[in-house]
């Protein structure tokens, strides 16, 4: 009986050390999983903001297309296309500043205005800029550049489209 008591005394400390080692490993695993989950949620939020900005820019392009088809004064207000302008993000960001160095900026109006508060809202209304390119035969060609922001001002999308109008 005496030998049995000696063996159990030596085993008590070993099980405590093994349990502590497993506890430390599980804690490290929990912290890693939490940080990965947080990163994935942030990525999903940024993707959502970019998608909102893309959809808002597409709304601006559709509004411009409808106005080109129906509004002669809108077509007449188009700025002449300048092929030497850079088609980069820095150029267009300067064009869409409040001083509007490139010409008149337009925003969707009426039913096309996007919500700026609540679920699925954009941080600001999209804007678009209209240029008239050289005509091709009887067809007048217009280039529309739209700029939109998503749910935050960090998500910005700039889209361009060309539309033809034949009187």
Please report, in tens digits, the pLDDT of each residue of the chain (167 residues total). Answer: 455 555 555 556 778 888 899 999 999 999 999 999 999 998 988 899 999 999 999 999 999 999 999 988 888 888 888 877 767 777 777 888 777 667 778 888 877 788 888 887 888 889 898 999 999 999 999 999 999 999 888 899 999 999 998 88
pTM reported for the whole predicted model: 0.75
Nearest to 153 by CA among 52, 60, 37, 65: 52
């Amino acid at each position: 009986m005496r030998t049995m008591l000696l063996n159990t005394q030596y085993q008590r400390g070993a099980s405590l050390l093994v349990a502590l080692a497993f506890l430390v490993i599980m804690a490290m695993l929990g912290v890693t999983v939490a940080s990965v989950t947080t990163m994935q949620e942030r990525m999903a939020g940024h993707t959502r903001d970019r998608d909102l900005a893309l959809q808002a820019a597409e709304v601006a392009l559709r509004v411009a297309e409808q106005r080109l088809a129906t509004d002669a004064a809108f077509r007449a207000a188009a700025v002449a296309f300048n092929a030497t302008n850079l088609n980069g993000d820095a150029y267009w960001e300067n064009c869409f500043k409040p001083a509007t160095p490139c010409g008149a900026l337009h925003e969707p109006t009426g039913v096309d205005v996007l919500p700026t508060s609540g679920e699925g809202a954009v941080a600001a209304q999209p804007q678009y800029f209209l240029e008239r390119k050289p005509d091709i035969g009887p067809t007048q060609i217009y280039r529309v550049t739209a700029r939109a922001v998503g749910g935050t001002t960090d998500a910005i999308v700039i889209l361009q489209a060309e539309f033809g109008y034949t009187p």
